[in-house]
């Protein structure tokens, strides 16, 4: 029951938020330059030094993300909301199937492989969950403080999604959970219910760490403590084991100083695992210095301000408000987690930097999320 659909329309020539567009183009341009440098080692190993081959793949993915952005900026988000439940159910089924038919990479089975392309259902599920949580918040506003009528349906969808994602990708599950909590807070869910939900989520993540020694070792290496009984103490405290990636990333940051070593002159790209993806921020700060890193951080903070203070506040209805809050939160939070890992503030997670890191589904999902955000900015009252 989204009655506000009848009181709004999308003007054919309604302008999109130009600041968001400039941020997207700036991030994509920074990503292309950083990827061209960071991909050198991978190209040497897999393509005899042909960096142009991988750069072309990245450019194609950027092009697809920008195309998705333009398409979804013209698709009325009310129409997407009507199909949110079916979209979410399909995403949950894919999360189940990927554990059976998916390919294993880096010890985790997260994606389907189709030739040179791969699809991660978790990237689709987070979009579907944001849409459906927004729909539920709108429908249940008249009895939003009722646990059984309003809160419990939200809990069922949020925790079923985060648990299925967290079985193979705990960091993405954390981002999805936090984004849903922020949306629920804006949607006037009681702080007591939110606090209880967060405690349940933390408990589930702790149990998942107990069943996954590799993930538990990353947390222990970050804390410098032996906590879990199923981990190898030698691996936890060895700088050449679990602490290797974080250590090499911090070396890259230190070598960058204020102005950096210069474009294409990174040394740590030869030592960091996946410098083109999980640690692209470290490569950027090494080559462009602290100034370059602050510029990149500033772009995401500007995205946060535009998403919350401009698009969300001026949305024509509560549905647009909730969706814009969820979309902005998950994009900006992903960037902050990625940056936090690179500078050593957080344990290694494997979260890509939106629109910057080398990736397929993650790049496409960022384009879709930003397209939905831009569509909300184009809506006008009738």
* pLDDT for the residue numbered 240: 60
User: Which of 43-52, 75-84, 366-375 is predicted least confidently?
Assistant: 43-52
Tell me the average pLDDT of the chain.
85
- The answer to whether 136 and 154 have CB atoms below 8 angstroms apart is yes
User: What integer pLDDT is reported at residue 234 of this predicted model?
Assistant: 66
Q: Residue 110: is its pLDDT beyond 70?
A: yes
Give residue 197's pLDDT: 84
Residue corresponding to tokens 């189709």: 114
Q: Give every CB contact of residue 170 below 8 A, 6+ residues apart in sequence.
A: 205, 208, 209, 212, 215, 349
- Residue 243 in this model has a pLDDT that exceeds 80: no
Q: How far apart are the first and last CA of the chain?
A: 19
Q: pLDDT digit string (tens) for 49-103?
A: 567 777 888 899 999 999 999 999 999 999 999 999 999 999 999 999 988 887 7
| DSSP summary character for residue 225 | S
pLDDT at residue 43 in the model = 63
Residue 380 confidence (pLDDT) above 80: no
What is residue 106's predicted lDDT score, i.e. its pLDDT?
A: 63
CA distance 366 to 265: 29
Question: Would you state the structure tokens that stand for residue 20, as one six-digit string?
Answer: 């968001």
Residue of 259, 258, 263 whose CA lies nearest to 35: 263
Interval 115-128: pLDDT, tens: 666 788 899 999 99
User: Is the sign of the CA dihedral 363, 365, 370, 374 positive or negative?
Assistant: positive
Pick the most confident of 38-47, 186-195, 261-270: 186-195
Question: 274-323: per-residue pLDDT in tens?
Answer: 788 888 999 999 999 999 999 999 999 999 999 999 999 989 899 999 99
3-state SS, residue 8: strand
**Cβ within 8 Å of residue 215, ≥6 positions away:** 170, 208, 209
Tell me the pairing of strands 103-105 and 108-114.
antiparallel
Least confident of 35-39, 181-185, 238-242, 376-380: 238-242
Short-list 319, 280, 352, CA closest to 76:
319
Strand partners, 112: 119
Residues 6+ apart with CB under 8 A from 79: none
Q: Supply the pTM of this predicted model.
A: 0.89
DSSP symbols for 205-217: HHHHHHT-HHHHH
Give the Cβ contact number of residue 336 at 10 Å.
Answer: 18
Give the residue-averaged pLDDT of 359-380.
Answer: 90
**Residue range 213-229: mean pLDDT, rounded:** 76
pLDDT tens digits for range 139-195: 999 988 888 888 899 999 999 999 999 888 888 999 999 999 999 999 999 899 888
The answer to whether residue 15 scores a pLDDT higher than 80 is no
Which distant-in-sequence residues (6+ apart) come within 8 Å of 12 by Cβ?
none
Tell me the pLDDT band of 264, cut-offs 50, 70 and 90: confident
Residue 266: strand, helix, or coil: coil
């Amino acid at each position: 029951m989204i009655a506000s659909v009848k009181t709004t329309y999308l003007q054919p020539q309604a302008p999109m938020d130009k600041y968001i567009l400039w941020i997207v183009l700036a991030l994509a341009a920074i990503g292309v330059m950083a990827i061209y440098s960071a991909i050198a080692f991978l190209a040497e190993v897999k393509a005899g030094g042909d960096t142009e081959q991988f750069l072309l793949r990245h450019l194609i993915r950027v092009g697809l993300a920008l195309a998705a952005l333009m398409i979804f900026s013209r698709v009325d988000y009310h129409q997407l909301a009507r199909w949110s439940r079916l979209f979410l159910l399909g995403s949950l089924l894919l999360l189940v199937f990927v554990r059976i038919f998916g390919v294993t990479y880096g010890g985790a089975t997260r994606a389907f492989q189709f030739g040179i392309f791969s699809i991660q259902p978790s990237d689709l599920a987070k979009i579907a969950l944001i849409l459906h949580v927004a729909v539920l918040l709108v429908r249940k506003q008249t009895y939003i403080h009722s646990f059984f009528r309003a809160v419990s349906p939200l809990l069922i969808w949020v925790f079923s999604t985060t648990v299925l994602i967290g079985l193979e990708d705990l960091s993405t599950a954390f981002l999805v959970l936090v984004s849903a909590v922020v949306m629920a807070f804006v949607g006037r869910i009681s702080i007591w219910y939110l606090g209880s939900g967060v405690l349940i989520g933390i408990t589930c993540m702790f149990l998942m760490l107990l069943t996954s020694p590799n993930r538990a070792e990353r947390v222990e290496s970050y804390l410098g403590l032996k906590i879990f009984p199923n981990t190898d103490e030698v691996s936890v405290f060895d700088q050449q084991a679990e602490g290797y990636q974080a250590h090499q990333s911090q070396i890259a940051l230190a070598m960058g100083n204020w102005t950096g070593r210069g474009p294409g002159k990174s040394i740590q790209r030869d030592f960091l695992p996946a410098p083109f993806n999980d640690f692209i921020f470290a490569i950027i700060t090494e080559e462009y210095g602290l100034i370059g890193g602050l510029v990149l951080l500033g772009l995401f903070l500007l995205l946060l301000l535009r998403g919350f203070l401009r698009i969300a506040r001026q949305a024509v209805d509560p549905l647009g408000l909730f969706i814009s809050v969820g979309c902005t939160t998950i994009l900006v939070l992903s960037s902050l987690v990625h940056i936090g890992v690179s500078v050593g503030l957080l344990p290694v997670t494997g979260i890509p930097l939106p629109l910057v890191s080398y990736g397929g589904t993650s790049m496409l999902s960022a384009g879709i999320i930003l397209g939905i955000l831009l569509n909300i900015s184009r809506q006008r009252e009738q």
